[in-house]
């Protein structure tokens, strides 16, 4: 099977943002070419893994020299489509929701949170980072956004997901700590902070050095 | 190679918290035995993947019936050592830091945030969830904790990591959005919320259904 087939393995996709962050940093430092070993030192991902991942995107490496940063940045940016605008709405403006709403790092990746929703009358109408918090019950039937971010407490997560899906959202980033039941047409990525801590703790207790993700 | 060797692959470890959360839920519903198909429906992880993951822990499945939940819960709990107390300190009590400090879900996994540190005089001395925020400059040389959580802005992340390591911390959960330079004896797990959004967005744009993580 050709490695240049369109189907890029999921673990490779999951590493692309790490490479992209690293390449941005190198470019900011006016570096033009980078070796897989340097990428490995900076990201904690094995050099051989990086080379294998890159092989899915065509022959970028220059034998004995390394990878041209501008070209690689452009290629990965295109794959992840970070140069386009991707609109998101966020439901649940608690501390985590506020942290997400205030986070300046999303724009570099093409993401813009356009609407904030909550059910707390004390929050509705107030602003976070220039965005007015709207009543979850006033969510329109058709949201002009592609991504829904769920940062409500666990017990409200499922009905929030249903509401977002009913409003046309088909990609959900789920911080609620519970698995969501959605139709097959909806893509869900669940980030559970307890799980991250549990995985770190395992590697710490067993002293098995994980690949950085 | 025997699948029962002690070396459990990293992707398997990363899925264990997902299984554990699912098993807790089933146990709460008084379910005694679960099929790999049911686990798959609930977690989004393929049934064959679950069975393969379980094979690292010995023969749990009962042919034609499924997996006994209590035994499986106990086994995974022991592997992740969630029944022991794991102390953590958190540096950077912004919105994300506050969300983490207030999160009630950590205790179920054995985690307890014992100290909060910040450099903001307006925050030092105030309480979050019953924990007084201490001055980062007063961090003792020897912290009685195993895990450090870094939720400071990117530009302060590296020096915060150094400070924690100097105080004896050898496991870091890094929310700062930058890669940390640490010695080989330190285990780092980086959670970058932009990356999570970028990965979700890729699968959404390409309509390639990811395995849930």
Interchain pair A17, B170: CB under 8 A = no
Q: What is the model's pLDDT at position B2? A: 40
- CB burial class (10 A; 0-12, 13-18, 19+) of residue B100? buried
Q: What is the model's pLDDT at position A59? A: 66
Per the CB < 8 A criterion, the answer to whether B168 and B195 are in contact is no
Interchain pair A194, B106: CB under 8 A = yes
A6 against B1, higher pLDDT: A6
In what helix (H) or strand (E) does residue B68 lie, and over which residues does it extend?
strand B67-68
Interchain pair A173, B197: CB under 8 A = yes
CA–CA separation, A97 and A91 (whole Å)? 8
Q: B171 and chain A: CB distance < 8 Å anywhere?
A: yes
Q: What is the model's pLDDT at position B47? A: 92
Q: What is the model's pLDDT at position A208? A: 63
Q: Give the mean model confidence (pLDDT) for residues B120-142.
A: 96
Q: What is the pLDDT of residues A185-211, one digit of tens each?
A: 899 999 999 999 999 999 999 876 655
A154 neighbourhood in chain B, CB within 8 Å: 105
CA–CA separation, A138 and A119 (whole Å)? 10
Q: Give the mean model confidence (pLDDT) for residues A41-53.
A: 90
Q: Give the mean model confidence (pLDDT) for residues B29-38.
A: 93
Q: A79 and chain B: CB distance < 8 Å anywhere?
A: yes
In what helix (H) or strand (E) does residue B132 lie, and over which residues does it extend?
strand B131-135
- Among the partner-chain residues A86, A198, A210, the one whose CB lies closest to the CB of B17 is A198
Average pLDDT in chain B: 90
Q: Give the mean model confidence (pLDDT) for residues B62-69.
A: 84
Query: In what order do the strands lie in the sheet containing A86-91?
Result: A127-128, A131-135, A111-118, A86-91, A147-150, A171-174, A187-190
Stretch among A43-47, A70-74, A88-92, A119-123 having the lowest mean pLDDT: A43-47
Which residue of chain B has the CA closest to A6? B206
Q: Give the mean model confidence (pLDDT) for residues B79-84.
A: 93
Interchain pair B10, A188: CB under 8 A = no
Q: What is the model's pLDDT at position A209? A: 63
Question: Looking at chain A from residue 108 to 137, which residues have their Cβ under 8 Å from any Cβ of chain B?
Answer: 108-111
pLDDT(B15) > 90? yes
* ipTM of predicted complex: 0.89
Cα torsion at A124, A191, A198, A49 (round to 10°)?
A: -150
Closest Cα to residue A20, out of A63, A53, A59? A53
Interchain pair B200, A147: CB under 8 A = yes
Interchain pair A200, B189: CB under 8 A = yes
Q: What is the model's pLDDT at position A5? A: 47
For A32, A103, B154, B155, the CA distances from B159, given in Å and listed in that order, are 28, 21, 10, 9
What is the Cα Rg of chain A in Å? 20
A57 against A148, higher pLDDT: A148
Q: What is the model's pLDDT at position A9? A: 87
Q: What is the model's pLDDT at position B211? A: 54
Q: A32 and chain B: CB distance < 8 Å anywhere?
A: no
Q: What is the model's pLDDT at position B19? A: 94
pLDDT(A173) > 80? yes
């Amino acid at each position: 099977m050709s490695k240049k087939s369109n189907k890029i393995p999921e673990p490779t996709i999951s590493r692309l943002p790490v490479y992209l962050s690293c390449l941005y940093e190198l470019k900011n430092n006016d570096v033009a070419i980078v070796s897989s070993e340097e990428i490995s030192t900076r990201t904690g991902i094995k050099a051989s893994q990086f080379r294998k991942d890159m092989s899915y995107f065509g022959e970028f490496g220059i034998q004995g020299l390394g990878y041209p940063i501008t070209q690689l940045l452009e290629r990965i940016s295109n794959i992840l489509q970070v140069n386009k605008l991707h609109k998101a709405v966020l439901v649940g403006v608690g501390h985590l929701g506020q942290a997400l709403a205030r986070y300046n790092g999303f724009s570099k990746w093409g993401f813009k949170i356009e609407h904030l929703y909550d059910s707390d009358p004390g929050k509705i109408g107030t602003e976070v980072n220039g965005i007015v918090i709207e009543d979850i019950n006033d969510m329109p039937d058709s949201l002009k956004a592609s991504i829904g971010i769920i940062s409500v407490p666990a017990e409200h997560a499922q009905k929030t997901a249903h509401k977002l899906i009913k409003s046309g959202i088909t990609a959900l980033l789920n911080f609620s700590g519970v698995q969501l039941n959605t139709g097959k047409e909806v893509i869900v990525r669940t980030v559970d902070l307890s799980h991250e801590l549990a995985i770190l703790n395992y590697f710490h207790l067993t002293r098995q050095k994980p690949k950085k993700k």
